[in-house]
Amino acid sequence: MPSFVTHLESAIDGTALPHDELQTTHADRPLWVRYDLDAIGRAVTREDLRDREPTLWRYRELLPVEHDENVITLGEGMSPLLPCPRLGAELGLKELLIKDESQLPTGSFKSRGLCMAVSRAKELGVTRLAIPTAGNAGGAMAAYAARAGMEAFVFMPADTPLVNRYEAGLFGAKVFLVDGLINDCGALVHRGAEALGWFDCSTLKEPYRIEGKKTMGLELAEQLDWTLPGSIFYPTGGGTGLIGMWKAFAELDQLGWLDRSDRPRMYACQSGGCAPIVTAFERGERHAEPFPDPHTIASGLRVPKAIGDFMILDAVRESGGQALAAPEAEILPWMRKANALEGISLCPEAAACLSALAELVKKGELDPAERVVVFNTGAVQKYVEAMECDLPLLPAKGEVDWDAIARS
Amino acid sequence: MPSFVTHLESAIDGTALPHDELQTTHADRPLWVRYDLDAIGRAVTREDLRDREPTLWRYRELLPVEHDENVITLGEGMSPLLPCPRLGAELGLKELLIKDESQLPTGSFKSRGLCMAVSRAKELGVTRLAIPTAGNAGGAMAAYAARAGMEAFVFMPADTPLVNRYEAGLFGAKVFLVDGLINDCGALVHRGAEALGWFDCSTLKEPYRIEGKKTMGLELAEQLDWTLPGSIFYPTGGGTGLIGMWKAFAELDQLGWLDRSDRPRMYACQSGGCAPIVTAFERGERHAEPFPDPHTIASGLRVPKAIGDFMILDAVRESGGQALAAPEAEILPWMRKANALEGISLCPEAAACLSALAELVKKGELDPAERVVVFNTGAVQKYVEAMECDLPLLPAKGEVDWDAIARS
């Protein structure tokens, strides 16, 4: 089926650009993908979705790929939306739901954006891709590039988590550690584009990752039977998912698919160790300054400068939400608490959301009776550094102190 | 809804046992769960499934949980069945599909069996669980125990992969390393059951893990529109999944849900470093001797003695399949090849299947035109030891040798 895309639109000044050729940014800022929503409304109803496959491609009409043969898929999407009564009680909430993105290909939400970016890149004739990554994006791009038969180059800080360092290479990408931060990696990818002719898949430097990420919002609406929750807590590094979901809600509203037009308050959650969006939010600014000396165990949040800063901040403010920083020291305790209470493979980035959420409830700034959704953006199993612990060793045979085992 | 279970049945001698009380084994051998399939056939049609949630609970009538409130779920099941044209071509096959179990809770197929075992244990009043594990089972049991609010104890060899060592503890289980093999861990769990009153969740020592694992077969049938593939290659440690799928196919046939009654040939794949089932298969025996000095990078295959040996061997023989050992040295190369060709997070255990499959095709013992399904039982990201590699380090600023990067 053909796509319903009409054009691309500069997010900073509204300039229209054609979508049938390769685009990156306009005035160094991201592009929106625009659709003929009226035509989509005539082509499909929300009831039509029910019989479709349980992947994000069920929203095919709202996605930018022109020809089905360019859909590069590993079966991504329709992640479970899990009720969390124990963790909710711990937070003093009546209804807490976790959208569990750990169950996507390569174990993270990055697969949503990168399946779309890689599919469109393939459709537009690209054969070589490159990406800077602070964590899970590199592995996801490498996996989809492999699936598409494309060449991939991945640049990451030397102190990126162990599993992320290895996975991209396993998917056949050429992987380089960089003695610096993700922004240094981004600069290398930018320079290399001229030298080696690769397409730059950096966050928001190509238009289609937002479209993949917006499916989190589409799924959430469908899973909640077309009534959005009261608030959404989203771990925010580059912010593509938050931006994408906010766009999804607007598109759904325009399609008339939402039973109520109330939108959730969007809470952009960061770590105190790297909180550029929070700083800009508190100062009432639309653009964020680079965060000095960024550090956090939540590697996906270690993004000192996001080119979509104004898009994140616009969405947060329009929604009546906030940008919130979790104290870095509270991330691991919340991660362990959530894992042990609910059995969800919850990553440090999502734990930052829980810490911020707890603080908000404590301050009385969130109605404990409303429905709250937290996004778990990746599988904790990919964060060996954050999981580390000492374990007791027993001999294979002989006496066992069972009391000590019971008490341990 | 009430379950359609009629009774449990000893797999070794057919003795019937009641299902409404806690059961383990009979004559130290596993039990089958038996259903009133005629009643199921009257209660549900295969067409009814279409509108159900994309989890293994869509097959609710064919599952043993009595009351919905005892369903302990993390959204497991309906893993994608991915066409693999590049890897298929490499193997000389016309149609290769991979059932990708890496996208389940805790990143492995173990979640299927353990969600069912934990759900039924809860239903029957158990509050404390224990398990021996060679890899992914411990984390899966711990996650579902956490979700159910039950206490969990996990025993694993000291050289179990790093991620498996950490994940179970993160889900709140009490974890113990054992200076021995999984069978030593199993003996500890067995002894502790008396001392500490826990329920033993060892592979096939409780009846319900098979029922969870059989959903791989149910999903495969539904995803292939009710016609089973020509052959199935399954990585075989304890063998629960192979046994479960073979049971699923029989139940589907009896329900009349299969369009054709042809069953796949079942290939039980092991590593040459631990191949007790292959040895027994080649000797024409129904029971396997303990495999001496077992070692393999595919940790899930390091099961020197399986109590369901005869159930595995019966299924393999009835199906016209074989038990096959991959040379240990070929596992990592096949793993890397599959990851790089298809972008699937394919684990070492599944790579053993690919090696065995390649050899079978080479010997002309498999029709290359038939549809072949390989099970990828876990996410490679959980196998840090198998992923390890050297990566080049670049400076953050300054000159870059782009030619060297292109050639790398």
Please say if the pLDDT value at position A133 is more than 90. yes
Rounded Cα distance, B317 and B217, in Å: 18
Structure tokens belonging to residue A34: 């625009």
**Bridge-partner residues for B129, per DSSP?**
B152, B199
Judge contact between A221 and A380, C-beta under 8 A.
Answer: no
Q: In one letter, which amino acid is A310? A: F
Judge contact between A58 and A77, C-beta under 8 A.
Answer: yes
- Report if residue A28 sits inside a domain: no
- Stretch A302-324: mean pLDDT, rounded? 97
A397 interaction partners in chain B (CB closer than 8 Å): 180, 184
Q: In one letter, which amino acid is A282? A: E
Rounded Cα distance, A202 and A189, in Å: 8
Q: Which of A153, A147, A167 is nearest to A383 (CA)?
A: A167
**Angle, helices A110-123/A136-148, rounded to nearest 10 degrees:** 40
Mutation to test the A interface, candidates B48, B68, B74, most A Cβ within 10 Å: B74
- Place B273 in a pLDDT band, splitting at 50, 70 and 90: very high
| Contacts across the A-B interface (CB distance below 8 Å) | 240
Q: Which element (helix H / strand E) includes B290?
A: none
Domain range for A355 is 81-107+209-387
Q: Supply φ then ψ for residue A141, to 5 degrees.
A: -60, -45
B282 to chain A, minimum CA–CA distance in Å? 31
Tell me the per-residue pLDDT of B276-327, one tens digit each, with 9 for 90 and over.
999 999 999 999 999 999 999 999 999 999 999 999 999 999 999 999 999 9
Structure tokens belonging to residue B230: 């020509």
When CB atoms are compared, the residue of A100, A335, A343 closest to B146 is A343
Rounded Cα distance, B51 and A202, in Å: 38
Q: Return the pLDDT at B408.
A: 85
Please say if the pLDDT value at position A147 is more than 90. yes
Judge contact between B252 and B218, C-beta under 8 A.
Answer: yes
When CB atoms are compared, the residue of B75, B80, B336 closest to A170 is B336
- Of the candidate ranges A103-107, A153-157, B178-182, B342-346, the one whose mean pLDDT is the lowest: B178-182
Q: Return the pLDDT at A1.
A: 73
Please report how many Cα atoms fall inside a 13 Å half-sphere around the Cα of residue A315, on the Cβ side.
28
Q: Supply φ then ψ for residue A31, to 5 degrees.
A: -115, 145
Strand pairing category for A128-132 and A393-395: unpaired
Look at B74 and A82 and tell me if their CB atoms are within 8 Å. yes
When CB atoms are compared, the residue of A147, A181, A408 closest to B342 is A147
**HEC sequence for chain A:** CCCCEEEEEECCCCCEECCCCCCCCECCECEEEEECHHHHHHHCCHHHHHHCCCCHHHHHHHCCCCCHHHCCCCCCCCCCEEECHHHHHHHCCCEEEEEEHHHCHHHECHHHHHHHHHHHHHHCCCCEEEEECCCHHHHHHHHHHHHHCCEEEEEEECCCCHHHHHHHHHCCCEEEEEECCHHHHHHHHHHHHHHHCCEECCCCCCCCHHHHHCHHHHHHHHHCCCCCCCEEEEECCCCHHHHHHHHHHHHHHHHCCCCCCCCCEEEEEEECCECHHHHHHHHCCCCCCCCCCCCCCCHHHCCCCCCCHHHHHHHHHHHCCEEEEECHHHHHHHHHHHHHHHCCCECHHHHHHHHHHHHHHHCCCCCCCCEEEEEECEEHHHCHHHHCCCCCEEECCCCCCHHHHHHC
A103 to chain B, minimum CA–CA distance in Å? 5
Q: Which of residues 70-99 of B touch A (CB under 8 A)?
A: 73-75, 78-82, 86
Residues 6+ apart with CB under 8 A from B159: none
**HEC sequence for B380-398:** HHHCHHHHCCCCCEEECCC
Look at A400 and B165 and tell me if their CB atoms are within 8 Å. no
Tell me the per-residue pLDDT of B17-67, one tens digit each, with 9 for 90 and over.
999 999 999 999 999 999 999 999 999 999 999 989 999 999 999 999 999
Please say if the pLDDT value at position B1 is more than 80. no
**Interchain contact A406–B (C-beta under 8 A):** yes
Q: Which of A148, A176, A96 is nearest to A368 (CA)?
A: A96
Please say if the pLDDT value at position A261 is more than 90. no
Structure tokens belonging to residue A78: 């329709």
- Report if residue B20 sits inside a domain: no
Rounded Cα distance, B263 and B224, in Å: 13
Please say if the pLDDT value at position B2 is more than 90. no
- B84 alpha carbon, distance to own chain's centre: 20
Q: Return the pLDDT at B226.
A: 98
What pTM was estimated for this model as a whole? 0.98
B101 interaction partners in chain A (CB closer than 8 Å): none
Find the residue in B nearest to A173 (Cα): B340
- Report if residue A270 sits inside a domain: yes
Q: Return the pLDDT at A212.
A: 98
Residue B298 is given by DSSP the state: -
Judge contact between B179 and B203, C-beta under 8 A.
Answer: no
Tell me the per-residue pLDDT of A203-255, one tens digit each, with 9 for 90 and over.
999 999 999 999 999 999 999 999 999 999 999 999 999 999 999 999 999 99
Q: Which of residues 313-352 of A touch B (CB under 8 A)?
A: 335-336, 339-345
When CB atoms are compared, the residue of A102, A177, A345 closest to B391 is A177
Q: Return the pLDDT at A243.
A: 98
Q: Return the pLDDT at A328.
A: 98
Task: Using the structure block, give the residue that is written with the tokens 């000159």.
Answer: B399
How many residues in chain A?
408
10 Å CB burial of residue A200 (0-12, 13-18, 19+) is: middle
Find the residue in B nearest to A195 (Cα): B402
| Mean pLDDT score of chain B | 97
- Report if residue B215 sits inside a domain: yes
Please say if the pLDDT value at position A196 is more than 90. yes
Rounded Cα distance, B63 and B56, in Å: 9
Euclidean distance between the first and the last CA atom of chain A, given in angstroms as a whole number: 59
Q: Return the pLDDT at B34.
A: 98
- Place B125 in a pLDDT band, splitting at 50, 70 and 90: very high
**Interchain contact B105–A (C-beta under 8 A):** yes
How many CB atoms within 10 Å of residue A159? 16
Domain total of chain B: 1
Look at B192 and A139 and tell me if their CB atoms are within 8 Å. no
Q: Which of residues 368-387 of A touch B (CB under 8 A)?
A: 379-382, 384, 387
Euclidean distance between the first and the last CA atom of chain B, given in angstroms as a whole number: 59
Look at A391 and B171 and tell me if their CB atoms are within 8 Å. no
Residues 6+ apart with CB under 8 A from B347: B102, B108, B298, B300, B335, B376, B377, B378, B379, B380, B382, B383, B386
- Report if residue A228 sits inside a domain: yes
Look at B177 and A142 and tell me if their CB atoms are within 8 Å. no
Q: Return the pLDDT at A2.
A: 81
Structure tokens belonging to residue B128: 């404390």
Tell me the per-residue pLDDT of A105-125, one tens digit each, with 9 for 90 and over.
999 999 999 999 999 999 999
Please say if the pLDDT value at position A376 is more than 90. yes
Rounded Cα distance, B147 and A313, in Å: 35
How many CB atoms within 10 Å of residue B49? 15
Q: Which of residues 158-187 of B touch A (CB under 8 A)?
A: 158, 162-163, 165-167, 169-172, 174-181, 184
Rounded Cα distance, A247 and B281, in Å: 58
Look at B162 and A384 and tell me if their CB atoms are within 8 Å. yes
B275: helix, strand or coil = coil
A209 to chain B, minimum CA–CA distance in Å? 18
CATH number at residue B86: 3.40.50.1100
Q: Return the pLDDT at B235.
A: 98
B153 interaction partners in chain A (CB closer than 8 Å): 405
| Mean pLDDT score of chain A | 97
Rounded Cα distance, B358 and B342, in Å: 16
CA B44-B47-B50 angle, to 5 degrees, is 110
Q: Return the pLDDT at A248.
A: 98
Please say if the pLDDT value at position A127 is more than 80. yes
Judge contact between B308 and B239, C-beta under 8 A.
Answer: yes
- Place B189 in a pLDDT band, splitting at 50, 70 and 90: very high
Farthest-apart Cα atoms in chain B, separation: 76
Judge contact between A241 and A215, C-beta under 8 A.
Answer: no
**Bridge-partner residues for A346, per DSSP?**
A379
**Bridge-partner residues for A326, per DSSP?**
A271
Percentage of chain A modeled with pLDDT above 70 = 100
- Stretch B388-400: mean pLDDT, rounded? 92
- Stretch B252-257: mean pLDDT, rounded? 98
- Stretch A154-178: mean pLDDT, rounded? 97
Q: Supply φ then ψ for residue B95, to 5 degrees.
A: -140, 105
- Report if residue A168 sits inside a domain: no
**ipTM of this complex:** 0.97
When CB atoms are compared, the residue of A51, A86, A146 closest to B149 is A86
Task: Using the structure block, give the residue that is written with the tokens 């959903």.
Answer: B215
